[in-house]
Structure 1
């Protein structure tokens, strides 16, 4: 009689236990980020409790601090992807490196240049004088905080980068209408914001496409790519340096020093000239011994991309931290002083909640949207990602000069779309590309791609439609949600 050492029942039980342990481990990893986020919300509420003492109003401040922290986390999870996504998608930065750089510079931008005064009614869309009392105003702002946070959370979950500025605007509009009627809304301001839905991505896409066309014409489809790169890359880096210098002067350093647009442009021109003369010998040295092919030339754009990701994050922290803490600062002021002010000072503890909340949201939940922007819309390499980053800075400068309210999210994502759609058009229609391929392959008659290849789409349409739909409904969705939340707060809080 043979004896088998194998015990089928025991083996099956062990396999089941192993499967259960693996599932439990996966589930625990999924719950880790939400658990940390919840801890941060409680910490924010504890911090607020040190600055308030007793009373129903102060209880509301503590609750509002938790909601403001929740919104800040969602802004970090959704909005910051636009700054570092192209660098990650082009492989210039790893996802870990991007998270670290963005977290550091977002916090620095918020704390150093985030502004010590913020508008209480989000860009003047609601007339405070029409709000009946400070109690009603507090409920209005609470509803705006809750609705915008929930909407940005939903957008992040479905993988759609949306404008958090528009979410807050929609929230304030909806609760403002519920509190004081349609007459309280500045519809001219709302019209400008609605116009920016089209203007922001269109400008971003066109500028990014123009720079990509320049790179293709003067570098990529040249016989001697290395010589062309030595000639033009320092110029492109100079343009980027000048654009970012002007961008930071106009949008990122308002708290430290007030600089008008004309002075910012002069600063940008000076920095561009300095960058050109500094980088020209560096690019020549870096390009020595390079192979005459696109993969080699792309290496020259990696350092500028990392630089741009850091500066975009700094400027974003300086500007968009107000989306998280503006309503919270307004609530604190209204409860402490019993009045509704058009502008209020930002307490340091409120600024800390906004700054660190954005960084926590980025570190815990940011990778999903970073990959969406950098990898799932269209294929990016360092040269294409450079065009996206440069477009973001230039578009903000142009829009500031024209007085147009634009969304940094819409600009950056529109630039990614612009790069992808331009590549589709260029592949099908460029005579220069056709002549270059014919010459480099030695084929007498360059054969046009077959119909299936010619119509190959380089922008993922599903992502395009999801993002556009999310953009269109952000303001009305948050407005309706905010009006409903305001009604509930009025009924139960008073």
Structure 2
């Protein structure tokens, strides 16, 4: 016969252990964000120590060390915010897990930055500030430092509130604000700023229109036909060929510029050849993959999943090749000015600066990227592999069109605009089908209030993102001006 006292003691012990376990779980939950902050701080310190290896004996080494620290901070924020646009659609469509997306993006972003990143970058961000207006190297260094700090702070804030913004535009605003603070309004190239402002509208609208057009094509030629599998065998290889052509042309212009300068017509020729090759390769593969699939939409998702994963990887590679150099441009400018004692319009980016950019992006993506990836991939509108593929395809084609037209566009605005384009097209298409059903009396009429409730794009996210886009350049410019006055006062 058991002792009642022992039984009560065991029950009390179990309760106490349960309480301790709850405290441990709660502690882990609370400290989880601190882990990311701690690892980020370690990376930033290591970036500063790495810069000491190159400039430890220089009289201006403390300036380069501080710039490396801020550059690492900027790179972390790029990974947390900007990369989500490339991986969000694939994750939202369930073609990739979050872990798989982060791994692919980290590898492709780093490879793009280190292998195909521009060896020469316009340190005043595409000619926004005239170097002659800030000839004093000390003033120039503080201006670039202020631009770096303000851009990083703004992207950090945008990530915190869940708004995907353009890091390139953040740097543009930072450079503009610091330039105005240092040399007045006359230092700014206002026509260039006007073109950049126009891209705020052109980028998302063009991306959205192209994505909606491809989705309309897929619906008409594949989804709403009697034999979906036969239609997929015919058209999916064509879409893969178009994707290959767009990415080949884009990477030919951006990725080969270290070796040879390629004009738009040559790049389009390279893209056409790549498209034909990939069409020839993918046609038998799609035919083999489609054998035994049921004639339903769920089967189509299988055929689009692998092309979607490949397109996400290529988008990340292209982003690393193009946008990372722009983001670390102010850091490269500071290094050049500190080493040679003069400002320059264009400088070579040192390898260690590109390494800081590439590694910072990877760490930022790993530690803080999932929040924005989920938002872009699933919280704006519901995506499946077909819709997400339209987003990726639109992003590549829009960049090619913009390059041909000579427009400065943002990959962030294009990708997110494409997601909105897909969502708004789905709304329009669902509304049209509902009207046709009501007219034919095939289905029960849907009240107007119910149709409004069924909107397929979340308006709250739409308004938040558009507002963040509009104020990115002014906000980062104001932050940069304040940062310049503070840094200049400290330096003096």
TM superposition score normalised by structure 1: 0.95
Aligned length: 488
The 5-angstrom pairing of residues 343-492 of structure 1 reads 343-430=346-433, 445-455=442-452, 456-492=454-490
2:305/2:385 contact within 8 Å kept: yes
Q: Judge conservation of contact 2:328–2:357 (CA < 8 Å) in 1.
A: yes
Q: How does 1:107-256 map to 2 (within 5 A)?
A: 107-256=110-259
* Counterpart Cα distance in 1 of 2:122 and 2:318: 18
Instruction: Return the offset for 1:16.
Output: 4.1
Cα-to-partner distance string for 1:138-184 (whole Å, 9 max, x where unaligned): 00000000000000011111111000000000000001000000000
Contact 2:181 2:484 in 1 (8 A): yes
Two-structure CA RMSD over aligned residues (Å) = 1.9
1:105 Cα shift? 0.7
Alignment of 1:236-315 (within 5 A): 236-315=239-318
Alignment counterpart, residue 491 of structure 2, candidates 486, 490, 493: 493
Aligned to 1:330: 333
- 8 A contact 2:135–2:343 mirrored in 1: no
- Residue 357 of structure 1 and its aligned partner are, at CA, apart by 0.9
Cα displacement (A) at 1:48 = 0.3
2-side partners of 1:84 and 1:445: how far apart?
40
Please state how far the C-alpha of 1:282 moved relative to its aligned partner. 1.5
CA distance in structure 2 between the partners assigned to 1:462 and 1:159 by the alignment = 11
- Distance in 2 separating the partners of 1:304 and 1:434: 34
Give how far 1:204 is off: 0.3
- TM-superposed deviation, 1:17: 3.0
Contact 1:240 1:272 in 2 (8 A): yes
Name the SS for the 1:118 alignment partner: strand
The alpha carbon displacement at 1:232 in A equals 1.1
Q: CA deviation at 1:54?
A: 4.1
Query: CA offset at residue 453 of structure 1?
Result: 4.1
Q: Tell me how far apart the structure 1 counterparts of residues 374 and 172 of structure 2 sit (CA, whole Å).
A: 27
Cα pair 2:121 2:326 within 8 Å, conserved: no
Q: Is the 8 A contact 2:121 2:348 kept in 1?
A: yes
Q: CA deviation at 1:248?
A: 1.1
Which residue is 1:100 aligned to? 103
SS in 2 for 1:45: helix
Deviations, residues 196-235 of structure 1 (Å, cap 9, x unaligned): 0000000000000000000111111111111111111111
The residue that corresponds to 2:65 in the other structure is 62
Please state whether the residue corresponding to 2:381 is helix, strand or coil.
Answer: coil
Q: CA deviation at 1:445?
A: 3.1
Report the alpha carbon displacement of residue 6 of structure 1 after superposing the two structures with TM.
Answer: 2.3
1:112/1:3 CA distance change after superposition, 3 Å = closer
Q: State the Cα distance separating 1:468 from its structure 2 match.
A: 0.7
- Could you give the per-residue CA deviations for residues 38-68 of structure 1, whole angstroms, max 9, x where no partner exists? 1111111111000013465211101110100
**Matched residue SS, 1:5:** helix
Could you tell me how far 1:83 is from its partner in structure 2? 0.8
Give the aligned partner of residue 6 of structure 1.
Answer: 8
Q: What does 1:16-31 align with in structure 2 at a 5 Å threshold? A: 16-31=19-34
Which whole-Å deviations, capped at 9, do the CAs of 1:297-329 have from their partners, x for residues lacking one? 111111111110111111100111123321011
1:82 aligns with 2:79: no
Q: Is the 8 A contact 1:132 1:180 kept in 2?
A: no
Moved more, 233-242 or 248-257: 248-257
Determine if contact 1:434/1:446 at 8 Å carries over to the other structure.
Answer: no
- The answer for unaligned runs of 5 or more in structure 1 is none
**Aligned partners of 1:89 and 1:166: how far apart in 2?**
26
Structure 2: tracts of 5 or more residues without a match: none
Aligned pair in 2 of structure 1 residues 2, 272: CA closer, same or farther (>3 Å)?
closer
